[in-house]
Amino acid sequence: MSKQDFYQTLGIAKNSTDAEIKKAYRRLAMKHHPDRNPGNKASEQKFKEGKEAYEVLSDSRKRSTYDQFGHAGMNTQSGMGGGFNPNPGDSFNDIFGDMFGDIFGSRRGQRSNIQRGSDLRYNLTLDLEQAVFGDTIKIKIPSLTTCPPCKGSGAKTGTSRATCQKCGGRGNVRVQQGFFTLQQTCPACRGTGQTIPFPCTDCNGSGRVQKNRTISIKIPSGVDNDDRIRLSNEGEAGINGGPAGDLYVDITVREHSIFTREGSNLFCNVPTSFSTAVLGGVVKVPTIDGAVNLTIPSETQSGKVFRLKGKGITSYRDTRIGNLYCKLQIETPVNLDSKQKSLLKQFEESINSSSKNHRPHKSSWKKSVKQFFDRLGI
């Protein structure tokens, strides 16, 4: 039987952030933890599947491999020594900490003080040309970065962390409550087993400082509104040597003065003169690659749409090239002098007196109007 998609297992979208992945796993683990469902094989299986999905999707490298190759990529990693941790409690404890360690009887020692940095989001607005052809853009973002003087340790230069005196480096202490002895997280070191006697004055012992960073973003060709670009390890710095988070860039494309876009296709209006529409002719129309000639047949009506095959764009998500659709707009002349108006009147009189039908839409429109009024009894 084929394995379920990891994103479906956690009930999340494929573009979910690390925080959303963690939240989904927390919810699943709370519901199906074996200690909450003793003897329930179905819950135990769902708990294992959720743990396996979380271990892949919470790791940036494993997630990237899974997004490209699916479960086959994970099987390859397992053969190379990557694989999954067989202990189903580890990921659960990473999420819930000591709170459920006491309830479910966990006997963990000190907690790792290494933490992954938070993900960041940035809204980037592009011109249509940048979205179509791609570009390299530099942005400035404020974020927490590794403190240079202490290199993220939090300790003053020339000093180091020390073993916690309260718990002896175990990360937990025993507290007597009536007849019971409880094991709790050490309040002095917060479960890490270490303290900082002489904190770094630049970061106050946190190991991170706020800083504006300049990041170069390579925009792939064909991106569109609501596309998201993920830059691994460009989020906030991790804590105590932990990996950095990711930066998610959300794309918005500005309205263009000529073109509108729908997927890989482009649309534009082409104004043309009354005489060209009647007699036919050639007009130059813009495309994303430059101007081309568009032949207008004689007696073309306003609103006629011409398709220029292959003159659209290649989408970021699709290798097929779209089309350009040009809609003809016949312009009514303005600022006419008396002579020009007289010529138009003569033309109109000749049309009205002719035995031929020079207005293909007018007769059918008049017929429809008459039928409409007849139904209303007017």
pLDDT in tens, 319-373: 789 999 999 999 999 999 999 999 999 988 898 888 888 887 877 888 899 899 9
Map tokens 């600022």 to a residue. 335
pLDDT at 252: 95
pLDDT at 190: 82
Which H or E run includes 284?
strand 281-287
Q: How far apart are the first and last CA of the chain?
A: 71
Short-list 226, 252, 217, 31, CA closest to 139: 217
Helix locations, 198-325, DSSP H: 274-279
The answer to whether 172 touches 164, Cβ cutoff 8 Å, is no
- Domain residue limits, the chain: 1-108, 109-161+196-254, 260-376
Who contacts 344 (Cβ-Cβ below 8 Å, separation ≥6)?
336
Structure tokens at 200: 């770094």
**Parts of the chain with a pLDDT under 50:** 76-90, 98-110
Short-list 182, 252, 194, CA closest to 223: 252
State the pairing for strand pair 305-308/324-330.
Answer: antiparallel
pLDDT tens across 121-135, in order?
999 999 999 999 999
Whole-angstrom CA distances from 360 to 36, 273, 301, 333, 363 are: 77, 19, 10, 22, 7
d(CA 112, CA 196): 15
Longest dimension (CA), the chain: 113
pLDDT at 33: 85
* AA identity, residue 102: D
Q: Which fold has domain 1-108?
A: Helix Hairpins (1.10.287)
Whole-angstrom CA distances from 278 to 9, 221, 313 are: 63, 40, 32
d(CA 59, CA 68): 14
DSSP assignment letter at 127: -
**Domain 109-161+196-254 top-level CATH class:** mainly beta
Q: Which fold has domain 260-376?
A: HSP40/DNAj peptide-binding domain (2.60.260)
The answer to whether 44 touches 37, Cβ cutoff 8 Å, is yes
pLDDT at 201: 93
Q: Do 260-376 and 109-161+196-254 fall under one CATH topology?
A: yes
Q: Mark 197-210 as b/e (b = at least 16 C-beta within 10 Å).
A: eebbebbebbbbbe
